[in-house]
Chains A and B, each alone.
Chain A
Amino acid sequence: MKSRFALVVLFVFAAIALAIVPLSAQDDVFSVAAVAPSATTDLAFSQSMFDALTLLDEEMGEAFEFTFQEGTFIVDDAAVALREWASSGEYDLVIAHGSQYGSIVEELAAEFPEVSFAWGTDVNTFGLDNVFAYTAASDQGGYINGYLAAMISESGSIGVVGPIEVGDAKLYVDGFQVGALAANPDVEVNVTYIQSFSDVPLATEAANAFVANGADVLTGTAQMVVGPIGVALENELAWFGTQSSQADLSEGAGVAFQVYRFDVILKDMIAKIGEGTLGGESYTITLENGGLEMVVSELMSDEDMVMVLETIETLTAGIIAGEIMTLPEMMEATPEATATG
């Protein structure tokens, strides 16, 4: 009788222990949920965040896990996912990766003050203590790409295919133009905003129009760039990219890419959340903090590679030191400043 009672007690304790251990393990796991407007393989905006989370997953191992909902351009659809994640209590950080999600984040963050949210690209935390905001100083890499493009261009004509003239897309294009003119004041940089992030056929024809008018270097931003990259390949032109590395797709046409390293700021957010700070801060990924990384194509000749790397190094140092103005308004604000490195 006593032995049976002991067995029952032992069994109960074992069951409790088995239940507690997984719970403890879950407490040690930092869980992230993220929603993005396009595919994780878009070679652009959404992929940059997905790659960052994947990198963290690899680095942190079992201490990190994430859920990623891609292709959710429609805000209402994203709202469903964001609300579900916030209300579940299972996630330490909920990321809304797209400026169109701002109103939803503001609403949900107020409703779930114990949940940490992050959204971008923007700097507005809505005055809420549980919202991190993040953006990219994409004009910096844009400047470098533009400078290199003007150096490389033989025809003196460069084509830029942009999506919509907002956010980091506009910053990139503006920085690109300033950089190009800094390298060669006589270069012609023509910009077409196709008013879509995803219209690949229209982006392709925009690139074709540039080529037909003499452009020998192309660049662009957003997921529709796969079309213009094809045009660059077909016409053996140079391609400069941003947001994510397009080196594989652009093959011999690719020169340099400004890659967004959101993992740099995510690590800081994770650390802050661990200390009890759920938000209230804005981040900007820059060349200085490593959130922007210039990547070059490995298919260039050694001579070209050296020139490109040296130029990137020089310009990066100048931008970080504040000696190079990468945006027109910066130059207007400080007329004595120079745009050249």
Chain B
Amino acid sequence: MIENILTASVFASAIRLATPYMFAGIGEMFGQRSGVLNLGLDGIMLMGAFCGYYAALTTGNLALAVLAALGVGAAMGLVMALVCVILKAEQGIAGIGMYLFGLGMSELLFQQLVGTPRAIDGFPRLPIPILSEIQFLGIGEIFFNHNLLVYVAFALVPLALFVLNRTPFGLMIRAVGQNPAAADAMGIKVARVRIITVTVGGMLAGLAGASLSVALLKVFQQNLTSGLGFIAVALVYFGRWRPIGVLIGALLFSFVNALQLQMSAIGIDIPAEFAVMAPYVITLLALIFASKGTDKPTALTKPFDRGG
């Protein structure tokens, strides 16, 4: 029974499902570490998903699709940063506004430019030579038989770790998030750091959307993300604002989803409501434990006023 449930395909499915959470979560982590909360992630993802999809649909050029998603994500991230950092607007409200903008604009653009869902070729599977053929424990299928964006998402984890913990800019990010006044006194440009992190976060959210429309699903439809961006925000809390934590959270959430799908697929009769709520319950439990930690950026959601 267990061998029919815990198959290689289940773990591979978990990794695919985790990909958009990884992109969006890592990006949001940078922003939150610098003290800015962006609840507009889902809206940015939707715009990234549409722009990437439309570029792929009209040109067939996947690199252009990725650039389009990155570009629109950066633009929206920059707007969010200007609103929250320069204008010092309430971050939660600004994020909701960004989400509604992305939701509505992506729907409008889709209706006007495409009309009805149309499939695209998208990113194909890219088996890693030799590694994808490892049969032992299904390792080859689980880790090395995915599309390019899956590999990029997981490569982000060590990259984010390096940037955050081994670079001067990473130190600035952490300092700004913990004590912006002290960071400012040391000559760090608090506003500049926050604008950069939120813009980068927007780029990665756009790429998260494209990972859905151009890679995993190869189609666009209104509200494609279905609230996925909000889960990504929660995963940052779950992961205690650390790249490894975001990775673990994304994989855990996705694995539980993949597991309940597998059980349904092989005819194991579990209440559908229980199966669907399980990932959220586990995430909530993890959040409870995460809230006991002291890793939360002290200045999160607090605008910095130099004179204040």
Chain A contact residues, CB within 8 Å of chain B: 38-39, 41-43, 71, 159, 165, 188, 190-196, 198-202, 204-206, 208-210, 212-213, 215, 223, 226-227, 229-230, 233-234, 248-249, 251
For chain B, the bracket of interface size reads 35 or more
Q: Interface readout for B17-55 with A: 1 if CB under 8 Å, 0 if not?
A: 100100000000000000000000000000000000000
Q: Which residue of A lies closest to B120 (CB)?
A: A230
B115 contacts partner chain A, Cβ-Cβ < 8 Å: yes
> Within B108-123, which residues are at the interface with A (CB < 8 Å)?
110-111, 115-119
Contact of A200 among B107, B115, B217, B276 (CB under 8 A): B217
- Determine whether the beta carbon of A230 is less than 8 Å from that of B7: no
Known: A41-B117, A227-B217, A249-B117. A209 touches B226 (CB 8 A): no
Q: Chain B: interface secondary structure? A: helix
- Determine whether the beta carbon of A196 is less than 8 Å from that of B217: no
Known: A39-B221, A190-B266, A226-B219. A209 touches B261 (CB 8 A): yes
Q: In the complex, A71 Cα to B217 Cα: how many Å?
A: 21
- Determine whether the beta carbon of B16 is less than 8 Å from that of A205: yes
Known: A190-B265, A209-B264. A201 touches B226 (CB 8 A): yes
Q: In the complex, A226 Cα to B120 Cα: how many Å?
A: 12
Query: CB-CB < 8 A to A226: which residues of B?
Result: 117, 217, 219, 221
Q: Which residue of A lies closest to B218 (CB)?
A: A230
Q: In the complex, A191 Cα to B273 Cα: how many Å?
A: 14
- Determine whether the beta carbon of B272 is less than 8 Å from that of A193: yes
- Determine whether the beta carbon of B276 is less than 8 Å from that of A205: no
Q: In the complex, A42 Cα to B262 Cα: how many Å?
A: 27
- Determine whether the beta carbon of B226 is less than 8 Å from that of A196: yes
**From residue B271, how far is it (CB to closest CB) to chain A in Å?**
10
Query: CB-CB < 8 A to B116: which residues of A?
Result: 41, 43, 248-249
**From residue B209, how far is it (CB to closest CB) to chain A in Å?**
11
- Determine whether the beta carbon of B264 is less than 8 Å from that of A42: no
Q: Which residue of A lies closest to B261 (CB)?
A: A209
Query: CB-CB < 8 A to A195: which residues of B?
Result: 272-273, 275-276
Q: In the complex, A216 Cα to B65 Cα: how many Å?
A: 31
- Determine whether the beta carbon of B221 is less than 8 Å from that of A199: no
Known: A230-B218, A233-B119. A205 touches B264 (CB 8 A): no
Known: A41-B111, A196-B226, A198-B226. A205 touches B221 (CB 8 A): no
Residue of B111, B223, B258 most packed against chain A (CB within 10 A):
B223
B98 contacts partner chain A, Cβ-Cβ < 8 Å: no
Q: In the complex, A249 Cα to B20 Cα: how many Å?
A: 24
Contact of B224 among A194, A200, A251 (CB under 8 A): A200
**From residue A213, how far is it (CB to closest CB) to chain B in Å?**
5
B257 contacts partner chain A, Cβ-Cβ < 8 Å: yes
- Determine whether the beta carbon of A213 is less than 8 Å from that of B217: no
Query: CB-CB < 8 A to B221: which residues of A?
Result: 39, 42, 200, 223, 226
Q: In the complex, A198 Cα to B226 Cα: how many Å?
A: 6
Q: In the complex, A213 Cα to B9 Cα: how many Å?
A: 9
Known: A165-B272, A202-B257, A208-B9. A42 touches B222 (CB 8 A): yes
**From residue B194, how far is it (CB to closest CB) to chain A in Å?**
31
